[in-house]
Amino acid sequence: MTAASGGDDIEARARKLHFASIVVDTHDDTTQRFLDGDFDLLPRNGSGSIDIPRMKEGGLGAIFFSIWIPSKITGPDAVKRALDQIDAVHEQTRKHPKEITLATTAAEIREARKDGKIAALMGVEGGHMIASDLTVLRSYAALGVRYMTLTHSGNDEWADSSTDKAAHNGLSDFGKDVVREMNRLGMIVDISHVSDKTFYDALEVSKAPLIGSHSSCRAVCDAPRNMTDQMIKDLATKGGVIQINYHVGFLSQEFRDAEKADPEINKAIAAEVEKRCGDKEGCQLIEGDKITREYVDKGKLPRVDWTKIIEHIDHAVKIGGVEHVGLGSDFDGANMPYGMEDASKLPKITEALLRKGYSEGDVKKILGENTLRVMTEVERVSREMNAQR
Ligand SMILES: [Zn+2]
C-alpha cells in the first residue's frame, strides 16, 4: 500500500497500526489528581485527559506518571510529598490489577502489553525532590521510579533550570554525581526543564542516553523549555529521544506571542485558578487548561490545533532522525491543543504521520519503540556499571 491509497484506507491502516504498536507517553501529571480527593483511574472522568477507559480507547500502552511538586518546596517536605505520590501510583495499580500494572523495565512494558494491561511507570519531575541526598535518589529507584527530570521550573541546589537565573553554571559537582548514580541505578536522565548548559553537562557526564521527556522544538516555538536544533542533534548522537510536549505554549509561536503581548491574561487565569482550586495542585493543573480554553473561546488567545504536534514531530525527525523522537504529552499538567483533549485522541497522530508519508516502522518508533530502546540501553549501562563494582 502507498500513501496514494484512498483516505479511508489510510484511516483503517492507521487504526490497525496504532493498536498493534506499543504507545508510550513519557509524561503525565495525573498523579496530582490521585492526592486531591477521590479521583480514580478506573471510571471515565468528565475532566482532564487520562483515565483507564480513555487510555484504552487511545491505545496508550505505557504511561509515565509524573511525581511532581513545585520547585520552591525542598528538603524533608519535598521528600515526604514525593513519597506520597509514589504511593498513590502504587495504590492505583493495586486497586486495578486487571487494567493497569506497575512496570520498571522495557521488558515489563512488553509483558504488560501481552497481558492486555496498561503499564504504569514513574518519573520524578525535579531534582529538588531528592533533597541533595543520594540515599533518597536510591530509595526512589527502589520504589520503581525510572526517570528523574534534573530540575523543574526553578533551579535545584545542584542544577540550573531553563526558567530560572543560572546559579551553578549548569550542573554542580554534586549534580554530576547525581547523573552518575542515576546511570548506575538504571534511572533515565531527563533533561526537560533544564538550562541549555545543564543539558550539555548532563550529556557529557551520562554514560547512557538521555531523554527530553516532555519538550518540543525551539526552532518551531521559541520557548526556553524547548530544545534547539543543535541540542536535538547532540541528544540524538548519544542515542537519546526527545518526547514531544503537546502544551500549546510550547507548540505555537502565535500562542506564545499572544500571551507575551498581554501579560494580564496569564495573571487573570492564575487568579481564576486560585479561586477555583485554592492550593490543590491537581485541580490547578486541570482548571488551568479549562480556563485557558475559555479565553481561546472568547477570542482572547489564539486557537492551537493538534496538528501542531505533528509539525514538531516532523521537525525533530528532520533534525535528529526518526530513531530519536517520541511522545511526552504533559496531559493533565498543561494546556492541550484542540483535537488532542485526552488520551483517546492519540490514534490521530498515527494517521497524520502515515498521511505525511512515514513508513509503518517509523511510526511505531515514534509511538513508543524509541523510548523502549532508550530504556533497554539505560538498563544495560546500569548492569555494566554494577558489574564493575
Ligand atoms: Zn514539566
- The per-residue pLDDT string of the chain (389 residues; one tens digit each, 9 = 90 and over) reads 444 445 579 999 999 999 999 999 999 999 999 998 789 999 999 999 999 999 999 999 999 999 999 999 999 999 999 999 999 999 999 999 999 999 999 999 999 999 999 999 999 999 999 999 999 999 999 999 999 999 999 999 999 999 999 999 999 999 999 999 999 999 999 999 999 999 999 999 999 999 999 999 999 999 999 999 999 999 999 999 999 999 999 999 999 999 999 999 999 999 999 999 998 888 898 899 999 999 999 999 999 999 999 999 999 999 999 999 999 999 999 999 999 999 999 999 999 999 999 999 999 999 999 999 999 999 999 999 999 86
Residue 95 Cα, ligand 1 centroid: separation in angstroms? 27
Residue 204 Cα, ligand 1 centroid: separation in angstroms? 23
Residue 193 Cα, ligand 1 centroid: separation in angstroms? 7
Residue 150 Cα, ligand 1 centroid: separation in angstroms? 11
Residue 152 Cα, ligand 1 centroid: separation in angstroms? 7
End-to-end CA distance of the chain: 52
How high is the pLDDT of residue 7?
Answer: 58
Q: Give the side-chain half-sphere CA count within 13 A for 266.
A: 11
- Give every CB contact of residue 218 below 8 A, 6+ residues apart in sequence: 224, 226, 227, 228, 229, 231
How high is the pLDDT of residue 267?
Answer: 93
Residue 214 Cα, ligand 1 centroid: separation in angstroms? 7
How high is the pLDDT of residue 6?
Answer: 52
Could you give the CA distance from residue 130 to residue 14 in angstroms, rounded to a whole number? Answer: 42
Round the CA-based radius of gyration of the chain to a whole number and report it.
19
- Give every CB contact of residue 109 below 8 A, 6+ residues apart in sequence: 22, 24, 61, 62, 103, 119, 121, 372, 375
Residue 33 Cα, ligand 1 centroid: separation in angstroms? 16
Residue 71 Cα, ligand 1 centroid: separation in angstroms? 11
CA distances, 152 to each of 16, 81, 214 (Å): 37, 15, 12
243 close to 26: Cβ distance less than 8 angstroms: yes
Residue 330 Cα, ligand 1 centroid: separation in angstroms? 7
Alpha carbon 1 to chain centroid, angstroms: 33
Residue 292 Cα, ligand 1 centroid: separation in angstroms? 17
The three cell numbers locating residue 204? 557529557
Residue 201 Cα, ligand 1 centroid: separation in angstroms? 20
Ramachandran assignment for 351, one of left (phi > 0), alpha (psi -120 to 50 degrees), beta (any other): alpha
How high is the pLDDT of residue 376?
Answer: 98
Could you give the CA distance from residue 132 to residue 86 in angstroms, rounded to a whole number? Answer: 19
Residue 279 Cα, ligand 1 centroid: separation in angstroms? 18
